[in-house]
Amino acid sequence: MRSDGKSPATIKDVARLAGVSRSTVSNVIRGSSTVADDLRERVMAVIAETNYRPDARARALRERTTGMIALITADTGNPFYASLGLGVEEAATLGEPLMIVANSHCDPAAELALCDSLISRRVDGVIVGDLSSNAGFPSILADNGIPVVLAGCGVSTDPRIGAVDTDDEQAMQLIIDHLFALGHRTVCFAGPVDQRAAADRRRLAARTAAASRGIVLQEDRPDGATALICHNDLIAIDNLDALERAGWLVPDDVAVVGFDDTPLAAHRRISLTSVRCDAVALGRIAATQIFTAIAERRHATERQLLECELVVRGTTGPTRPGRPSLGAGWNPVHVLDTALERTPH
Amino acid sequence: MRSDGKSPATIKDVARLAGVSRSTVSNVIRGSSTVADDLRERVMAVIAETNYRPDARARALRERTTGMIALITADTGNPFYASLGLGVEEAATLGEPLMIVANSHCDPAAELALCDSLISRRVDGVIVGDLSSNAGFPSILADNGIPVVLAGCGVSTDPRIGAVDTDDEQAMQLIIDHLFALGHRTVCFAGPVDQRAAADRRRLAARTAAASRGIVLQEDRPDGATALICHNDLIAIDNLDALERAGWLVPDDVAVVGFDDTPLAAHRRISLTSVRCDAVALGRIAATQIFTAIAERRHATERQLLECELVVRGTTGPTRPGRPSLGAGWNPVHVLDTALERTPH
DNA sequence: CTGAAAGCGCTTACAG
DNA sequence: CTGAAAGCGCTTACAG
């Protein structure tokens, strides 16, 4: 297949051509130990002319490390995960480990299959962007000596698993307080179509916050609500669309709140009230945890919550007495896994 | 690090525990050759109780294959790439190869570094979602015996490189014809901030199509244009925002056209006229090419263009005499690499 | 049908 | 400072 019909040069080839031993070539490559200058030069020259690149597979086998980490995502179409990945990338500059980005779709079977594959491949660490409710795979990874940290999807009961997440309780309290001040007394929480841990968590936080204000919280049912609190911006933006197509006015009839403050929330035509959390920082922190855990050959066990900020925009406003509230005629849209499979309107 | 303090079971452990040779264990795992039922059962039992998982690193070294392919992306925040990845995933069910998704940001230095890493790791194949203009790394990959196909970013001059892309010439003709019919005679093409091959290609196609209608095409400058043809939806949506913030009316003063027909284009509040191309199909076709190339130990050399369809929505309308056209007061926004780093308005 | 042996391409003590 | 040897965990002919 190679144009020249030969297979890639190995360390053996280089050693032979340079007239040294394989150990010496290895030492030159790794910059370790002191190699005599003339030998080093000879080896370097041969490496350059043969275009030799050490085989990472062999190295991985020998060094018990692959230089690869995995980022497990729920929904590649959500810019939130893109930011998360960017944060990981930022933190990764040092050892430049390669990232496997895998979309589990929060499907338990897919998660398990992925977990198996990741263990077989002996990835150095795993960052979980979201997972199905009560998913067991992080513990299986830990059982196999792989450090894992949850990023943006709660805190595991397994002490061997690290976490960095938004402070959902605080965030939901901000949302509820904002809606309460605007006069809303019945609100609806709209989660994703699948069962994912992050949504469970936010749902619960919404419940607590609502209770603190005496607000009635409907979950995934609209009955009488004048505001829609959505699990994330993607869901919020989709519901905004669905509401307006069904004839409701936002924010006059019903308020809509998102979560993540993705770039689009700030778009003039969308102007979505949302919770800003620094997804890039989330990724960076998770990655840092993982990298130090790998370096110290231990699990990642730190847990950290990031404060959020409410960004008020055009989709929330005061309730207007006499306006219709949501009712039987309309149901919140539970965005499909990747928002990409929706049929275009 | 492992909770039980032991390292993962190896084939040697299994062989010992089952009282057979390593070859037999290997045969059982791979289902190959006929192993006596009783031995098979014993081995299976030991595998189950030791939780043995073959080490993919060793296997890769031995089998000269890694079961990993890479998808190189320009901008993870663009849902277009998410769809592309979904298509690859769809086609991958058979051998369930793991995907390395890497964001080159279309930066030549990053591309080269990534290329190096991919060669070292001996990935089985590479799908390129976009690349910098005249990037040489696909040929370097090919030099190293790695099949590569460009998906959605043109056709390489290197015959060893496969391609599947939108038919930009046809698509641009659709756009130009549509705008011409609406009365537009001067239009502006807005590309991404970086130099990427896909944009070069579209820019050229716009030039040809515009010439066919006697339309004046301004590139990245607004002067006198009444319509903005954007390289992709992300750029279009950002420009829509920028235009309206600057006081222009869309579509009354200026028309905006996107490319990709991402889910958001269909949103009621955005309603972006765009070119629909099946990104999932693009990914699926590219992946199929790669997989057959890998299986047949050759380069992927097919080239294929997919027809596109123009979806007319609310951002394009007839020119209105007397309305202001774009001028010195405003410049198109060239969206940053990942659209995620924009400061929120 | 089963196992001993060689080898994939590296790195790492260990002699010299 | 340099090289011979062992070994990482697999698979694949090849004997028996």
Establish whether domains B66-166+278-305 and B168-277 are of one fold: yes
Smallest CA–CA distance, residue B214 to chain A, in Å, is 33
Unique residue bearing structure tokens 């006015």: A249
A194 vs A128, A168, A220, A274, B129, CA distance in Å? Answer: 16, 19, 12, 21, 29
A86/B344 Cβ within 8 A: no
Beta strands in chain B (DSSP E): 68-73, 98-103, 125-128, 148-151, 162-166, 186-190, 216-219, 227-230, 255-257, 274-276, 303-306, 309-311
Q: Which residue has the higher pLDDT, B210 or B328?
A: B210
B270/A269 Cβ within 8 A: yes
Euclidean distance between the first and the last CA atom of chain A, given in angstroms as a whole number: 47
φ, ψ for residue B140 (rounded to 5)? Answer: -65, -40
B82/A77 Cβ within 8 A: yes
A119/B338 Cβ within 8 A: no
**Average pLDDT over every residue of B193-220:** 95
Residue numbers of chain A with a pLDDT score lower than 50: 1-4, 336-345
A122/B266 Cβ within 8 A: no
Q: How far is the CA of A53 from the C1' of C7 (A)?
A: 20
pLDDT of residue B337: 40
pLDDT of residue B341: 39
pLDDT of residue A330: 77
What is the spatial distance between Cα B177 and Cα B161, in angstroms, rounded to a whole number?
Answer: 33
Looking at domain B168-277, its CATH architecture is 3-Layer(aba) Sandwich (3.40)
Residue A109's Cβ-count burial label (10 Å; 0-12, 13-18, 19+) is exposed
Which has the minimum average pLDDT: A294-298, B161-165, B168-172?
A: A294-298
Q: Is the CB of B54 under 7 A from strand D?
A: yes
Half-sphere exposure of B286 (CA within 13 A, CB side): 39
pLDDT of residue A335: 54
Q: Which residue has the higher pLDDT, B91 or A150?
A: A150
What is the spatial distance between Cα A166 and Cα B305, in angstroms, rounded to a whole number?
Answer: 44
Amino acid present at B164: V
pLDDT of residue A157: 96
Sketch the domain layout of chain B as residue ranges: 11-54, 66-166+278-305, 168-277
List the beta bridge partners of residue B216.
Answer: B186
**E strand or H helix that includes residue A304:** strand A303-306
Would you say A70 and A120 are in contact if contact means Cβ atoms under 8 Å apart?
A: no
Q: pTM to 2 decimals?
A: 0.93
pLDDT of residue B116: 93
Residue B185's Cβ-count burial label (10 Å; 0-12, 13-18, 19+) is middle
pLDDT of residue A133: 94
B244 touches chain A (CB under 8 A): yes
What is the spatial distance between Cα B262 and Cα B168, in angstroms, rounded to a whole number?
Answer: 17
Nearest CA in chain B to A104: B89
| CA B193 to mean position of chain CA atoms | 18
Amino acid present at A113: A
pLDDT of residue B342: 41
Q: How far is the CA of A20 from the C1' of D3 (A)?
A: 8
Would you say B211 and B316 are in contact if contact means Cβ atoms under 8 Å apart?
A: no
Largest CA distance in chain B: 90
pLDDT of residue A6: 63
Nearest to A234 by CA among A333, A107, A92: A333
Nearest to A91 by CA among A44, A149, A24, A156: A149
Q: Is the CB of A7 under 7 A from strand C?
A: yes
pLDDT of residue B222: 83
B157 touches chain A (CB under 8 A): no
B220 touches chain A (CB under 8 A): no
Unique residue bearing structure tokens 């620094």: A278
DSSP B215: -
Q: Is the CB of A144 under 7 A from strand D?
A: no
Q: How many residues would you count in chain A?
A: 345
What is the spatial distance between Cα B181 and Cα B161, in angstroms, rounded to a whole number?
Answer: 39
pLDDT of residue B6: 63
| CA B205 to mean position of chain CA atoms | 20
pLDDT of residue A97: 75
Whether domain A64-166+278-305 has CATH 3.40.50.2300: the reply is yes
Average pLDDT, chain B: 90
Q: Which residue has the higher pLDDT, A333 or B265?
A: B265
Q: How do residues B15-60 score in pLDDT, each as one tens digit? A: 999 999 999 999 999 887 678 888 899 999 999 999 999 999 999 9
Q: Is the CB of A36 under 7 A from strand D?
A: yes
Amino acid present at A279: A
pLDDT of residue B221: 80
Q: How do residues B98-156 score in pLDDT, each as one tens digit? A: 889 988 999 999 999 999 999 999 999 999 999 999 999 999 999 999 999 999 999 99
Residues of B in contact with A342 (CB under 8 A): 263
Question: Looking at domain B66-166+278-305, what is its CATH homologous superfamily?
Answer: Response regulator (3.40.50.2300)
